[in-house]
Structure 1
Amino acid sequence: MSKNNYKAHLALLGANVIYGANHIIAKGVMPNKIGPSAFVFLRILGASLLFWIIKSFIKEKVDKKDFPLLILCGLLGVASNQLLFFHGLNLTSPIDASIIITAVPVMVLIFSAFLLKEKITTNKLIGITIGAIGAILLIWYGKKAEGTSSVLGNIYVLLNACSYALYMVLVKPLMKKYNPITIISWAFLFGFIFMFPFGIQDITTTNFEAFTLNTYLAVAFVVLGTTFLAYLFNIYALSKVSPSISGSYIYLQPVVSFIMVSLYAFVLGYNEYSQDINLIKIISCLMVVVGVYMISKKPRKKLA
């Protein structure tokens, strides 16, 4: 594995650790302190400003013929992706959301095969199968426990997974042509335009005076971590590795969420989370890690 590939895998690891932690951190302030649409408004606005500050140092023009694809990436990868996920997370449990999002690698592999003609290797098929079994086990046993699951919320998260998977595949050709910062800056600008009608009313009615220090810290984590840094890591990785490898790291999110829930339950004393911890879920999380490894592992070259 080359040095650039190592950096790409580290970036993907960092992004999905952030995403996994986001499930429970963002859930903790919705909807009592801030509504999902208002939260997304702050996410996209804050990250857009940061991306365009960096973009000001990169003098690169985009061909007019590429703007329709950038607009579509803004719609799928920023606006609909974030609105659907946060509305889904607002309604359902953090563990459910992190499990459902593992549908992304399968969708990415399918979209890549059709749109990018990417070859589906044996390793990728085995990895997706192992990871999927782990995810199914989590769903099966998760449904047996009491919790805050919601059918509508789960549907929103599933639609979010479809939107994000298609974005990851569509944005890949742009990676070969432009600097990743150029692409993500324009995508967030267009995403903000699409999101604005949905978020403006929610943000203007948000009672910021009711925010506590923990609320501000959660919002800062979502804007700086989940949005700015995670998108930056993902966009960098996509310029180095295939969409299917990038998508496979999403299998780590249930593992991170599971660890976060364990910390909240057994270290911080949030007893409502303790009923979600059992041996089957631990085994399931280990399976998704193995799935990531298999998908990202390159087949050995045969010696002549």
Structure 2
Amino acid sequence: MIMVLIGAILWGVSGTAAQVLFQNNGFQPAWLVTVRMGLSGLILVLFSMIGAGTQKTFVIWKRPKDVLYLVVFAVIGLIGVQYSFFVTIALSNAATATILQYLGPVAITLYLALRLRRMPNRWESLAVVLAFVGTCLLITDGRWNAISISPGAVSWGLISALALAFYTMFPQKLIKQYGSAIIVGWAMLIGSVLLSFVTHPWRLQGTWSYWALELVTFVVLFGTLVAFYLYLESLRYITPSETSLLGCAEPLSSAFVAMMFLHVRLGLIAWIGAFCILATVVILSRKSAGR
């Protein structure tokens, strides 16, 4: 429980660190995503080679079908979720981006209902309603004649939620066969290489200082590598549903840090909307645990 809480808090704080880099130092989301994925992926692959062995780490490259799935996961899952998340931060703030991304579990619920050709049960229906109401409250902050968040931020935030749903569901078979660190490590490297054709990571962007270097280092090491490792390790001791519940610390930590250091303010109505969205995660997690 301590590991997943620390991991969730690190994810939340890294979003606020990215907001500073975007809005104060002129960094671009694509560049930061490329560097973040490349360095974290390289470290994960190296750790896998040390822990699991070189042969197990590279065996996936001998199976063309699995390589294809890996590339799809890298492009739609990892690039999709990280780029859309960072663009949402750049267009709004870290708290709003993280909360909108938490609509992902609702997208998973609706997809499974369509695929299984069944209507959502009462708990799933309640979660969907809460998610819809919460999103409306968050983006309007009670001012129904005007949207308090830019349409671009809302659109990219919803894309981030859909990408998160894909990221969660698509690689399950690969992860069971090869392990999380190997799959995510290679997918991060693939995503970083592909993004390098669009934004060149060796061309430094923005205004650099010791503070900016510290923020980039934090986003790469603590906000990606350490947070991901702690999340994986927590699954050895607690269930995925419990991890999802404790993961609610991520948007809350992001919101509190943004308020304390960046003077981001969410109105009362927006806060009610945020907690409605978090409540959907609690409902869906408890349902999946059969409680």
Scaled to the shorter chain, the TM-score interval is 0.7 to 0.9
Alignment correspondent of 1:262: 259
**1:24 paired to 2:13:** no
Q: SS in structure 1 opposite 2:27? A: coil
The one-letter amino acid paired with 2:284 is I
Q: Does 1:46 align with 2:39?
A: yes
User: Counterpart of 1:34 in 2: which secondary structure?
Assistant: coil
- The equivalent of 2:211 in structure 1 is 214
Taking the aligned partners of 2:20 and 2:203, their CA distance within structure 1 comes to 21
Partner of 1:224: 221
How far the C-alpha of 1:39 sits from its partner, in A, is 1.2
Task: Give the letter for the 2:22 counterpart.
Answer: M
The alpha carbon displacement at 1:28 in A equals 0.7
Q: Write the deviation string for residues 191-228 of structure 1: whole angstroms up to 9, x where unpaired.
A: 1222111221x641526xx4223212211121012222
Q: Is the 8 A contact 1:104 1:247 kept in 2?
A: no
The CA deviation string for residues 120-154 of structure 1, in whole angstroms up to 9 with x for no partner, is 66444434543543343222207679998432233
Query: 176-185 or 80-89, which moves further after superposition?
Result: 80-89
Q: Distance in 2 between matches of 1:109 and 1:143?
A: 29
RMSD over aligned Cα atoms: 3.6
The Cα of 1:68 is off from its aligned counterpart by 1.3
| Farther-moved stretch of structure 1 (64-73 vs 251-260) | 251-260
Q: Percent identity?
A: 20
Measured in 2, the distance between the counterparts of 1:142 and 1:29 equals 30
Q: Please state if 1:137 is matched with 2:128.
A: no
Determine the C-alpha separation between the residues in 1 that align with 2:233 and 2:114: 23
AA in 1 matched with 2:29: P
Q: In the alignment, is the contact (CA less than 8 A) between 2:140 and 2:146 conserved in 1?
A: no
In 2, distance between residues paired with 1:279 and 1:46? Answer: 39
Alpha-carbon shift at residue 166 of structure 1 (Å): 1.0
Contact 2:34 2:191 in 1 (8 A): no
1:289 to partner: Cα distance: 4.2
Matched residues, number: 280
Query: What per-residue deviation string (whole Å, max 9, x for no partner) do you get for residues 74-102 of structure 1?
Result: 11222232223223322233343233212
TM-score by length of 2: 0.78
For 1:177, the equivalent position in structure 2 comes to 177
**Equivalent residues in 2 for 1:1-304, closer than 5 Å:** 11=4, 13-30=5-22, 32-57=25-50, 58-59=52-53, 60=56, 61-62=59-60, 64=63, 65-113=65-113, 122-141=122-141, 149-200=149-200, 203-206=202-205, 210-234=207-231, 253-264=250-261, 270=263, 273=264, 276-297=265-286, 298-300=289-291
Letter in 2 for 1:176: K
TM-score normalised per structure 1:
0.75
- Give unmatched runs, 5+ long, in structure 2: none
- State how far apart, in whole Å, the 2-side matches of 1:285 and 1:22 are: 19
Give the letter aligned to residue 151 of structure 1. P
